[in-house]
Amino acid sequence: MEKLIGKNKIPCAVFISGRGSNLKSIYNYSIKKISKIYVKLVISNKYNVGGIKFAKTKKIKNKIIIFKNKNKAEQQILEILKKNNIKLICLAGFMKILSKNFIKIYNGKIINIHPSLLPKYKGLNTHERVIKNEEKYSGCTVHFVNGELDSGKIIIQKKVKILKSDNAKTLAKKILIEENKLYPKAINKVLFKT
């Protein structure tokens, strides 16, 4: 991360595909005095999602990039990131896998949140798999993005107890609450190296 000069905040982009609940928590954190980032850009691969509506209400620059052709889409995104001098990328429910070339360009500056205690339960349908395997705990993880799915260095995790009454839906709700708290802490940790 580049050194912070005075009160300057680091320009950050948040990538989303849906309702944007983690985008909201990152934004709410970013407007606090203690925060060292500001959300300059929101990128979505879907139209009319909650996260884009939120970005518009907060007057955050936003772009919708449809991934019909992955190379073209990533090229477009890279140009937008460069134009906006983006120094940190937060993937927040972004349902596209970025190529190794893209990751190489922003190496060490892309973080992601995943709804499990990595390295367990990488990929999709996390909560269903956790419940099926009768795990006692699940949780969420913020990690650096590398070339392998959900395999980058872990920044921070939060454990959540699974009750006998829990199903995939109730567990997802509980974990999402923790995700929203965890993401700002992870950003802080990355920037302050604490």
Peptide bond connecting 11 to the previous residue in cis, omega within 30 degrees of 0: no
Cβ atoms of 18 and 46 closer than 8 Å: yes
Give the 3-state secondary structure of residue 125. Answer: coil
Q: From the candidates 114, 127, 143, 174, which is the catalytic residue? A: 114
Q: Angle CA(38)–CA(30)–CA(149) in degrees, nearest 5?
A: 80
Cβ atoms of 20 and 92 closer than 8 Å: yes
> Catalytic annotation on 127?
no
- Judged on CB neighbours under 10 Å (0-12, 13-18, 19+), 189 is middle
Nearby residues of 61 by Cβ (< 8 Å), 6 or more positions away: 40, 41, 42, 55, 84
Residues with a catalytic annotation lie at: 114
